[in-house]
Amino acid sequence: MPMKRLLPSLLSILLAGAAVAAPEQTIKVAGLDKGAEILVDKWGVPHIYAQSQDDAFFAQGFNAARARLFQIDLWRRRGLGELSSVFGPSYIEQDKATRLFLYRGDMRKEWASYGKDAQRISERFVAGINAYVDYTAQNPAALPFEFRQLGYAPAKWKAEDVVRIRSHGLTRNLTLEVARAAVACKAGLAADQVRSTLQPAWQTEVPAGLDPCLPAGLLDVFKLATDNVIFGKSPTIAALDPEQRMEGSNNWVVAPSKSATGRPIMANDPHRAYSAPSLRYIAHLNAPGMNVIGAGEPALPGISIGHNGTIAFGLTIFSIDQEDLYVYETNPANPMQYKYRGQWENFKVLKESIPVKGGMAATAEMMFSRHGPVIFTEAAKHRAFAVRSGWLEAGMAPYFGSIDYMQAKNFEQFRKAMLNWGAPTENQVYADTSGNIGWVAGGLTPIRPNWDGLLPVPGDGRYEWNGFLTGDKLPSSFNPKKGWFASANEMNLPDGYPVAQYKLGFEWPNNARRARIGEVLDGKAKVSIDDSMRLQNDLVSIPARRMLALLAPLKTNEPKARAALALLRGWDAVESSQSPQAALFEVWWSRHLNQAYVSAVADPKAAPLIKTADITAMMNALERPAARFGRRAKTRRDELLLSSLGAAYAELEREGGPDPKAWQWGRLHYSYYAHPMSTLTDSLRTKLNVGPFPAQGGANTVNQSSYRTSDFLKINGPSFRVVVDVGNWDNSRAMNTPGQSGDPDNPHYRDLAASWGKGDYFPLLYSRKLIEAATESTIRLQPAR
């Protein structure tokens, strides 16, 4: 991996290339106090130097707009429900849906949730964005391509815009409640065990008074409110049946006693949907009292993942249940009333005008119960449905709380900042220059005194949140004895944790990635920076390994299944892009085995509702078949394995030809970074999209690569990678994809995509000397007097 070999001679290489002066630009902008400079390195990372923190956040906003103006403007319009004003009437319904989920609470309480300087930081950040918007008005050539193509101008921001938008907060489990209710309606709750394994082990029940048979289309408005902006077809139609996406992440910290450097190591690769531009943006903020570098989202101030010269921090999702669906009995004589504690209570109705390009303004008429926004009414059965979600509480702006913890100097300060963390719910790992490592779980946690949150509940007053757990009730760890800590979204509540009392959540991803991370870290006496980079790119599939063990003793005379067994025999379960075995396994796993298993073991009435069996449940049942396969359990299990495997082999013969040696996983499975505008014309698709590239791995490898089963397009995976050498900061490595810039005409729009696919990294430079040597361009911001 060539970039991994860059660091040992980094200084000499950079200094040798520094003879050519980097281009410089000076821009006078209103709103700055003393000025700032932005040194953009050869990988597109901006290093911002300012004489005050106010100016640093201003410059961060200015630079975010410089690099990603169309992206953040689109996010803002989508999040505030303002798409129709520039894109026309086809977006009215999406705007209406989005506005249901805006934060509408006390802004003083909201700002106070993030620390004493939160409002000031947001004000300075959006002042910087707005300064760049003004700059594009004065210099039309600086206006990004997309605005010119679509014929509109970017909007100005308000400080509260940053925190009021909640529809991308990764809260859960509304859709899972509805899926569970659908199975319970048709076949009873026991049938749902094929679809979902509850962790820790838990027995749920249908809440008293609930009819689990819910109306079709119940979640249409909710899905539309949380969907991306889609050009070229009706967003209403496109949002109703989205491809199921798996969100994940990996992180770990290694103590000095376990580290080859003698210093702590922090590694993190958060997983999200792939797109162009990247969801993440790497930046460096330097001002008196602040020197922090790493990644965040371009529409937010601060850094969410990285280090500040004293501590390093990284995150994964920790599955707290923050959502509930409430079902109301409505008044037959007045559908604007619902029954609560034996009395009819009025829905609150809020009307807002939505500007519409090329037409009359539309009116959004929104209904709210005491629990939250109403997403569906069912007149025939006199029912209404509303969502109560943590994301509607103060302090729940996604990732905004990082402006507090990013400046902590020790574990006590870091944990204190995490006590107030709202969303997304996180596993935060920590390491510092004193040699300490730790883990803190954070997130707003509803207290449900008399139910578990796994199914919808009647909204008649029997099922109420009783406040929220204080952050100190969530698990944490400091300097674990084994010398490392890791998380990969698995159920990681410690032994003895009061599960029944706190009921944080019972729906977690399977532990395959975490098991592999633990296997690698435990297997090394010392862990190096290179080891951590290799582990982030690891392609070993634990489910594949377990399935190979089941297949090893099997024999058959059926030609396709026999050929498949021969091909898989001796495979190391490494899902490289060149591997024919990986191609066979993933086609079998995703298109044949899962469906065959559901058909074999699920209640026939529930089977049509179960698109994907729970991996944990399926693997356990296949390894211990008696519980699920009944009489002749092992024989029936083996027949299922062989018949589905033979069908997968036959499919690959049709798709890839008769010679299995020519099959390659990367010919089927590919990554493709699509820009939201690329659906409009073929010429835009060529200009804006990046790829395709052969992909590797699968949903259960550490290098996660979730895909659409229809065409194996990669839809989810690492959005950013970083490995931090704590204390020797210039030896840290990072990578973004497809590039740092949002401008398709900028070299940094797509320059990192190919390197990303190879598992390469660039140096995450921290010292001024090395940054100057690697500087590609300099932007000086001066106050306009």
Q: Give the pLDDT confidence of 600-634 residue by residue, as tens digits.
A: 999 999 999 998 999 999 999 999 999 999 999 99
Mean pLDDT, the chain, integer: 95
Answer whether residue 623 is part of any domain: yes
pLDDT at 721 over 90: yes
Q: Average pLDDT for residues 322-351, to the nearest whole number? A: 98
- Let me know whether 549 and 503 are in one domain: no
- Let me know whether 271 and 138 are in one domain: yes
CATH number of the domain enclosing 149: 3.60.20.10
Residues 311 and 414 sit within 8 Å (Cβ to Cβ): yes
Q: Average pLDDT for residues 644-650, to the nearest whole number? A: 99
Residues 581-597: tens digit of each pLDDT: 999 999 999 999 999 99
pLDDT above 70 coverage of the chain, percent: 95
- Let me know whether 457 and 550 are in one domain: no
pLDDT of residue 359: 86
pLDDT of residue 244: 44
Answer whether residue 716 is part of any domain: no
| Alpha carbon distances (Å) from 281 to 273, 303, 598 | 15, 9, 41
pLDDT at 235 over 90: no
Site of tokens 């075995």: 581
What's the predicted TM-score (pTM) here? 0.96
pLDDT-derived band at 216 (thresholds 50, 70, 90) equals very high
Distance CA 764, CA 762 (A): 6
- Let me know whether 460 and 585 are in one domain: no
- Let me know whether 489 and 552 are in one domain: no
- Let me know whether 547 and 482 are in one domain: no
Residues 39 and 772 sit within 8 Å (Cβ to Cβ): yes
Q: Is the bond into 692 cis (omega within 30 degrees of 0)?
A: yes
pLDDT at 240 over 50: no
Answer whether residue 215 is part of any domain: no
Residues 338 and 344 sit within 8 Å (Cβ to Cβ): yes
Answer whether residue 346 is part of any domain: no
Residues 113-166: tens digit of each pLDDT: 998 899 999 999 999 999 999 999 999 999 999 999 999 999 999 999 999 998
* DSSP letter for each residue of 580-627: HHHHHHHHHIIIIIHHHHHHHHS-TTTGGG-SS--HHHHHHHHHSTHH
Sign of CA dihedral 517, 523, 527, 528: negative
pLDDT of residue 22: 74
Residues 491-504: tens digit of each pLDDT: 999 999 999 999 99
Distance CA 168, CA 519 (A): 33
Answer whether residue 274 is part of any domain: yes
Domain housing 631: 542-574+580-663
Answer whether residue 181 is part of any domain: no
- Let me know whether 658 and 742 are in one domain: no
Number of domains in the chain: 2
Which of 663, 678, 705 finishes a domain?
A: 663
- Let me know whether 35 and 161 are in one domain: yes
pLDDT at 336 over 80: yes
Q: Is 623 left (phi over 0), alpha (psi -120 to 50) or beta?
A: alpha
Site of tokens 């005409």: 745
Distance CA 698, CA 716 (A): 10
Which of 646, 663, 680 finishes a domain?
A: 663
pLDDT at 402 over 50: yes
pLDDT at 11 over 70: no
Answer whether residue 437 is part of any domain: yes
Which of 612, 644, 663 finishes a domain?
A: 663
Residue 602 phi/psi, 5-degree rounding, is: -80, 150
10 Å CB burial of residue 153 (0-12, 13-18, 19+) is: middle
Residues 19-44: tens digit of each pLDDT: 456 799 999 999 999 999 999 999 99
Answer whether residue 461 is part of any domain: yes
pLDDT-derived band at 110 (thresholds 50, 70, 90) equals very high
pLDDT at 15 over 70: no
Site of tokens 């994809």: 737
- Let me know whether 19 and 69 are in one domain: yes
pLDDT-derived band at 232 (thresholds 50, 70, 90) equals confident
Site of tokens 């905004």: 400
pLDDT of residue 248: 82
Distance CA 217, CA 215 (A): 6
- Let me know whether 556 and 408 are in one domain: no
- Let me know whether 417 and 276 are in one domain: yes
* DSSP letter for each residue of 201-244: -----PPTT----PPTTTTHHHHHHHSPP--SS-HHHHTSSPPP
- Let me know whether 148 and 286 are in one domain: yes
Task: Select from 238, 248, 252 the least CA-distant residue to 716.
Answer: 248
Residues 679 and 234 sit within 8 Å (Cβ to Cβ): no
pLDDT of residue 172: 79
